[in-house]
Amino acid sequence: MKINKNDTLLFIGDSITDAGRDRMEGNDLGKGFPLLIASHLQTDHPDKRLTILNRGIGGDSLGDLKDRWENDCLIINPDIVTILIGVNDTWRNQNEGKELTKEELDDFESDYRFLLKSLHQRTDARVVLMEPFVLPFPKDRVNWRVDLDPRIQIVRKMAREYQTELIPLDGILNALGIKNGFSYYTGDDGVHPTLAGHGVIAESWLKAVIE
């Protein structure tokens, strides 16, 4: 994927993208993978004068992202959009003891398609989709797979349909967790990345998009 001079790169999603950013400061990138990616790009490509924005909001589900899509994405008219969303939909169901229904999964696909279709219709943005992920530490996170796996399949389906970049974070992080310990990458909840976890996400993005 080519990055051009004066491109605007938008990272959008939930708390994994948010990473503690100051939402009152529009240019704040937080302390996670968007900051790491921005640091790399701006160091290696000073001639491109890139604008890099973070519009992650902690706790957001896909539906929440859809509700703010106009203001936080389409109006910006970005050149490259990276989306990471979905684990909170699973997390809410787990907290409420709810099983994933076909209707809910259909809605998830419909909402995801809305994001990509509107991008295609109203912008010329290149798109990077990241799989939501969960690591099995604590052990009860294994139970999340039955809800999260179908959502990951939808993200993959959307990547095929809309010919986007796809970064398989669930597989990447779980493979590294098997080797080095799951909590090394997602701390004590299996979801929120440590610095090493954010580093893996940033590295995976750069390999997929730049190299």
- The runs of H, that is alpha helices, within the chain are 15-18, 33-44, 62-72, 87-96, 102-122, 145-162, 169-180, 183-186, 195-209
pLDDT digits 0-9 by tens, 65-74: 999 999 999 9
Q: What average pLDDT does the chain have?
A: 97
CATH class of this structure's domain 8-209? alpha beta
As given in the structure block, the two tokens for residue 167 are 């970064």
- Closest to 108 (Cα-Cα) out of 73, 146, 154: 154
pLDDT digits 0-9 by tens, 32-62: 999 999 999 999 999 999 999 999 999 999 9
Please check the confidence at residue 203 and state whether its pLDDT lies above 70.
yes
Please check the confidence at residue 14 and state whether its pLDDT lies above 70.
yes
| Total length of the chain | 211
Domain ranges of the chain: 8-209
Q: How confident is the model at residue 211 (pLDDT cuts 50, 70, 90)?
A: low
Tell me if 85 sits within 8 A of 62, measured CB to CB.
Answer: yes
